[in-house]
């Protein structure tokens, strides 16, 4: 085999491997995008619409609304069994399902709390504040539960930034402060 042929073959192999690597890279990017954005959502002019139809139970979904992180957590039956009359008011009901939806900024000094699905609770690492799965405060220093953003229910979708009757009720009974 001549040197020229061997080199030609090597070039071809190199190109083929390069192609596989590029495809692998695209696959990895796609997988990451799926992890970051697991639910279909649309953002437009101060509104974020999230379709909760396929939301999994006890998996924290993080969205963005007006530059703020938004937490969405579908409650399981076991989690619902632990709610009280007060904490249940914090949840948004769509069909038979209940969701915690809140601004993901600690009400103490604004750090982003982390969620532990085994403990079904949030811990704010800044000063040790904790919240339960409804985002109600369970340990100071946070003065209150995570704030709930204005929302409207539209079928299986949640429109953040619009004020529906369910949100107005939460404001009126003091379940959340206005954001």
**Residue 75, class by beta-carbon neighbours within 10 Å (0-12 exposed, 13-18 middle, 19+ buried)?**
buried
- Which range in 73-81, 102-110, 153-161, 168-176 contacts ligand FES by CB under 6 A? 102-110
Tracing tokens 């402060």 back to the chain, one arrives at: 177
Q: State the minimum distance, in angstroms, from the CB of residue 20 to ligand FES.
A: 46
Q: Which is nearer to ligand FES, 111 or 171 (CB)?
A: 111
E strand segments, the chain: 41-44, 47-51, 61-65, 68-74, 92-94, 97-103, 114-116, 121-123, 130-132, 137-139, 151-154, 157-160
User: What tokens does 92 get?
Assistant: 């948004």
The least distance separating ligand FES from the CB of residue 144, rounded to whole angstroms, comes to 12
For residue 71, which of 162, 148, 137 has the smallest C-alpha distance?
A: 148
C-alpha 123/C-alpha 116 separation (Å) is 8
Is the distance from CB of 69 to CB of 135 less than 8 angstroms? no
Based on the shown chain and the rule CB under 6 A, indicate whether residue 114 belongs to the binding site for ligand FES.
no
The least CB distance from residue 142 to ligand FES, in Å, is 5
> Residue 104 Cβ, how far from ligand FES at the closest point, in Å?
11
* Cβ 124 to ligand FES shortest distance, Å: 3
* By the rule CB under 6 A, 129 interacts with ligand FES: yes
Of 99 and 122, CB closest to ligand FES:
122
Out of 111, 159, 171, 179, name the contact with ligand FES by CB under 6 A. 111
CB 94 within 8 A of CB 156: yes
3-state helix, strand, coil in the chain (%, to 5): 30, 30, 40
One of 94, 106, 146, 170 touching ligand FES (CB under 6 A):
106
> Least Å distance between CB 141 and ligand FES?
5
Instruction: Please give the size of the binding site for ligand FES, defined by CB under 6 A.
Output: 10
Q: Which residues in this chain contact ligand FES in the complex, by CB under 6 A?
A: 106, 108-109, 111, 124, 126-127, 129, 141-142
């Amino acid at each position: 085999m001549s040197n020229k042929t061997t080199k030609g073959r090597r070039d071809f192999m190199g190109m083929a491997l390069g192609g596989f690597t590029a495809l692998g890279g695209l696959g990895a990017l796609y997988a990451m995008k799926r992890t970051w954005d697991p639910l279909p959502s649309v953002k437009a002019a101060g509104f974020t619409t999230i379709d909760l139809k396929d939301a999994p139970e006890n998996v924290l979904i993080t969205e963005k609304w007006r530059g703020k992180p938004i937490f969405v957590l579908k409650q399981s039956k076991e989690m619902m069994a632990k709610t009280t009359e007060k904490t249940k008011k914090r949840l948004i009901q769509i069909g038979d399902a209940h969701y915690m939806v809140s601004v993901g900024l600690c009400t103490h000094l604004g750090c982003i709390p982390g969620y532990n699905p085994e403990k079904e609770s949030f811990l704010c690492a800044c000063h040790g504040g904790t919240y339960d799965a409804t985002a109600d405060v369970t340990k100071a220093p946070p003065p209150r539960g995570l704030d709930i953003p204005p929302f409207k229910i539209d079928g299986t979708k949640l429109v953040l930034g619009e004020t529906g009757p369910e949100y107005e009720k939460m404001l009126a009974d003091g379940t959340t402060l206005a954001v």
